[in-house]
Amino acid sequence: MNVPARTLLTTVALVAAGTLAACGGPATTTSATSPDGDTGSVAAPAGNPTPATGADATALPSAIECGTQYRPDVEVITGAEEPTLRVERGGGLMGATETLTFATMALQVTYVDEQPEGRSVTVDVRNATGDVLVRTLYQLPAMDLASIDFAGGHGFTGLQYVSNGTAQLQVWCTAVP
């Protein structure tokens, strides 16, 4: 898998920011350096989340919706597609999975409500031959996911960019009550 380090660094920073933003507490800055020397940082609240239990536990959303914009050529808007992918909450070990397929990439989202390892959303972006370009696992806290929202309305995942050749896929996911 050959993913540009900048793409992975951005994805890690977005996941860290989304997770830490739910924790509360004083702001800290986390930084990372990729193998090719690119450096990135993200400021986020520090702290450890305390899962809600009993009457304080927030119900999981009924579904996850992921907005997208796919461009076959990132330099031009011509040919862009903007479908939305909806995944209903799925029980059992496998959960529910839905896929959107584009010319050079596919987006696959899996939503598992309660499994032995906990509740999660997995976002995979694959190339046309099925190789994983980016995989991000969101382990869901016992809190209202709709309250985690990046600037611009980009839900609990933030806005992610994935490139494959000249094509680009933008994806973000939000909770549906």
Residues 126 and 84 in one domain: yes
Q: How confident is the model at residue 124 (pLDDT cuts 50, 70, 90)?
A: very high
Residues 84 and 159 in one domain: yes
Residues 124 and 149 in one domain: yes
Stretch 29-37: mean pLDDT, rounded? 45
Residues 90 and 114 in one domain: yes
Residues 7 and 67 in one domain: no
Residues 34 and 71 in one domain: no
Residues 28 and 67 in one domain: no
pLDDT for 149 equals 62
Residues 95 and 36 in one domain: no
Mind listing the pLDDT tens digit for each residue in 61-77?
888 999 999 999 999 99
- Which 3 state secondary structure label does DSSP give 43? strand
Nearest by Cα to 157 from 10, 1, 51 = 10
Contact at 8 Å (CB) between 89 and 62?
Answer: yes
Burial class (CB in 10 A: 0-12, 13-18, 19+), 147: exposed
Number of domains in the chain: 2
For residue 146, being part of any structural domain is answered with yes
Q: How confident is the model at residue 81 (pLDDT cuts 50, 70, 90)?
A: very high
Residue type, 7: T
Q: State the residue range of the domain holding 111.
A: 58-177
Residues 105 and 162 in one domain: yes
pTM over 0.85: no
For residue 53, being part of any structural domain is answered with no
Residues 43 and 98 in one domain: no
Residues 124 and 166 in one domain: yes
Structure tokens at 80: 């862009």
> How far apart, in Å, are the Cα atoms of 23 and each of 13, 44, 50, 171, 175?
16, 9, 8, 24, 18
pLDDT for 117 beyond 70: no
